[in-house]
Structure 1
């Protein structure tokens, strides 16, 4: 079996060896086990379902959280020569969707959002075609988004509640024990095998720096972008600020574009492609950007705020240094940023008053869509309340929402404490996920001591060496294939 897998690895992907954890995950899948796999960003999670797809006889269904991520994965497979791949999403017209549904079984890799999976026609079609593997990509979203943002993640178990279903693979870069439990529960996994690699990325160096004002924060960000090499991602909290930062940095000569959920999908994909193709060096984004983006040479990730959780912070900084070269993750904050982060995290979250408005509207005969169009509640409010009130009483729903709101606030306190106290940032993040580190790298974090100049030089040197190694591997693989 191992020899065959290595042959597929070389012939389909051009690699002569597996990265840590990949082979064990693939063997578990081929043994028809349900698998929860935690691999750090850049360690080749996609290969863990793509390679089995070429060994297994039928389709692989991948549940993916973002349209941009789906498109990126589809493009990656097409570049490898795979034509039997499709993203079934809202980009398609009604006619295109119907045509694809009719021939869905002819595709090897089928990408769907959880919302698309839960549509009745799609569910019926999926139940009628042979499927060899179901994949939940970025599976932490089940726990982090399902309860309060995209409840269709929690409904996936309804579709997967079948004794004859194929194995399930849940992939993510970060997961606490609670998140792993949520993944197993909401995907109806049966005694899943856990494959967990170390979360620590020694080549990422952490810095958390307090500034006195928002204007000083921008000036420090602009200075860092100028002084330290890119490409990079600048994360901010609002669409308005993303656009404002981008315009101000463009005026300083930075090749940058903004990216956020207020943009049209086609515009967002265009910005992503510009970034991947090196037509711009920076993206200023809300947290909508970066998940699954295959750009190996991101040298820095900058935050201008406290992220909504330790898990989100780990996911976002993990987009740096996928090539193994030294990279820098910097967060600038003011004393007021904690309150702003709490406001952003809870602003569009329903409370007791929203529950009562929703309940009264439904009792009066309004459809959930009408509640939105009449501006009684936001689309997010309606999506969340439609789920919870279908499962629980009004009183139980109010209690659940209060608990979830408090959890959001506590998660911000957790990341704030990690970044502001005197302890090593790296050590605290790794321990948060129940792991330990045996040693810390030189230039570990701003608490342990950080020499930016050394990181710049090391980053340039490593990037050059990695490019040479990549060409050597390509040539070696080519010669092996010719032989």
Structure 2
């Protein structure tokens, strides 16, 4: 049976999408592969199809619980029962049972943090894997150095002799990020497939305001008059809730979403959005990765994204159905300074390095810095990783370099804000690519008419305020029915 026949048998498709066949063929040939395929182009098929050809399990390293769970659910809908996600959703007994029977699964999903746990490493080393997949592999470079250092340890864990091929998947990556992926995964002369990052059906809008109040007023009016579904990205948890409240008062079916919410609440809101019970989500960047909603018509950045790569990832959640969609970048005075502050806020400082060394010399546990409230847990994980890798003075240099990089990343976003020539061209060039053609209504600089892209909002008689948006009450009601 050839690949096309297998494609139809397992997925019901008659044709591969661009890049899928080339990637699958290289994986089946036993080669390491880096594949850049735009959001919505079917990256998961690149490991799922080989999974049905190989006899041994496929290990998928995934960044988010929601993304893992979504992929598991998608496979189960396809009648695939031999799939498991090793994450915090499992209690102790469930995790023990999953580890004991790990070799019986076809697809095993896991986070980097779970991967480096000693008992998990030992179990994975005891079974034969057919393929190791790093989904959203750009996270190695974007998150590994200053947020989730266990991403930098993946290569240590999976890099044993006679390991299976590695497949690194992403939608966006610069040449530097590709280099980091290859280096930290210890890939062996990988085959690289790079599809254009451009999404011609996503039209790029931009608005500049004198102050935040004007920006908020304009955005609220815009959302109240235009069709969703849509996502509004902002940089603080409190702002997601405040903006959501204002939209609810205008009769918009919406909810806030951020990392400080209970996992069950986040899952419920995400599902409501996917199913169409909500038209808008107001979120931090905790929302979006792995959210398979085809008909998102708008993505609005109320705050500056922290870097161009994040911006590209986030606007890529629009228009997965191939129809026209709008990405709006909003800016007002002080947004640049705030974005730089947020970017550096959770990095360890030189003072933290000195304190770490002081506790170490006193033969005390540096972890007490977290317990004493001297440093956040995230910053301490980063600090501890680099203190194990480098001498203290080099750690200080590394942290200084990270801060410089954060500032530069925001300044690169500002180039989009103040662009006089085509925004799409600037985005594509950022990723080292060339723009082949521009769509009509390309971007703000090329003469964008929003009314050509987004329909006016269809209002209904339903009173949104009367609907229950108390997620905990709704969850309780659902649980009582089970």
Same fold by TM-score greater than 0.5? yes
**1:459–1:76: structure 2 CA closer, same or farther, 3 Å change rule?**
farther
Partner of 1:50: 48
| Root mean square deviation, CA, Å | 1.4
2:470 aligned residue: none
Q: Which residue of 1 aligns with 2:314?
A: 316
Deviation of 1:227 after TM superposition, in Å, equals 2.5
CA distance in 2, matches of 1:197, 1:28: 16
Match of residue 193 from structure 1: 191
Matched, 1:150 2:140: no
Please state how far the C-alpha of 1:385 moved relative to its aligned partner.
0.8
Q: What is the TM-score with the length of structure 2 in the denominator?
A: 0.93
- Alignment partners' CA distance in 1, 2:351 and 2:82: 49
Cα distance in 1 for partners of 2:114, 2:14 equals 37
Inter-partner Cα distance in structure 2 for 1:350 and 1:79 = 43
Aligned twin of 2:331: 333
Residues 1:170 and 1:458: Cα distance change in structure 2 (over 3 Å): farther
Post-superposition shift, 1:368? Answer: 4.4
Q: Distance in 2 between matches of 1:413 and 1:86?
A: 42
In structure 1, how many angstroms separate the alpha carbons of the residues matched to 2:399 and 2:254?
A: 38
Secondary structure in 2 matching 1:409: helix
Contact 1:357 1:376 in 2 (8 A): no
After the TM superposition, which of the residue ranges 265-274 and 185-194 deviates more from structure 2?
265-274
Q: How does 1:234-383 map to 2 (within 5 A)?
A: 234-383=232-381
Tell whether the 8 Å contact from 2:56 to 2:130 is kept in structure 1 after alignment. yes
SS at match of 1:421: coil
1:62/1:111 contact within 8 Å kept = yes
* Residues 64 and 137 in structure 1, CA contact (< 8 A), matched pair in contact too: yes
Q: What is the Cα deviation at residue 457 of structure 1?
A: 5.3
| Aligned residue among 448, 451, 467 for 2:449 | 451
Question: In the comparison of the two structures, how many residue pairs are matched?
Answer: 458
Tell me, in whole angstroms, the C-alpha distance in 1 between the residues paired with 2:227 and 2:366: 49
Match of 1:213 among 211, 217, 223: 211
2-structure distance, mates of 1:366, 1:238: 35
Relative to structure 1, is the Cα distance of residues 190 and 290 closer, same or farther in structure 2, using a 3 angstrom cutoff? same
Distance 1:111 1:33 in 2: 21
TM-score of the two chains, using structure 1 as the length reference: 0.93
Counterpart CA distance in 2 for 1:426 and 1:228 is 23
Q: Specify the alignment match of 1:223 in structure 2.
A: 221
CA distance in 2, matches of 1:225, 1:192: 45
Unaligned runs of 5+ in 2: 459-482
Q: CA deviation at 1:458?
A: 12
Please give the per-residue CA displacement for 1:370-416, whole angstroms capped at 9, x wherever unaligned: 32122122101210111000010110000000001100100100011
Helix, strand or coil: the match of 2:352?
helix
The answer on whether the counterparts of 1:309 and 1:412 sit within 8 Å (CA) in structure 2 is yes
- How far residue 159 of structure 1 moved from its aligned partner, in angstroms, is 1.0
User: Which residue of the partner structure matches residue 411 of structure 2?
Assistant: 413
Distance (whole Å) between structure 2 residues aligned to residue 221 and residue 458 of structure 1 = 14
Tell me what 2:117 maps to.
Answer: 119
CA distance in 2, matches of 1:341, 1:420: 16
- Structure 1 stretch 183-192 or stretch 213-222: which is displaced more? 213-222
- CA distance change for structure 1 residues 276 and 236 in 2, over 3 Å: closer, same or farther? same
Deviations 1:106-143 (A, max 9, x none): 11111000000000000010011121000000000000
Q: Which residue in the other structure is 1:463 paired with?
A: none
Runs of 4+ off more than 6 Å: none
Task: Give the whole-Å Cα distance in 1 for the aligned partners of 2:122 and 2:415.
Answer: 48
**Structure 1 unaligned blocks of 5 or more:** 461-483
For the 8 Å contact 1:9–1:51, the answer to whether it is kept is: yes
Q: Secondary structure at the match of 1:447?
A: helix
Residues 6, 16 of structure 1: 8 Å contact kept: yes
Tell me the distance in 1 between the aligned counterparts of 2:361 and 2:375.
15
Check conservation: 1:250, 1:256, Cα contact below 8 A. yes
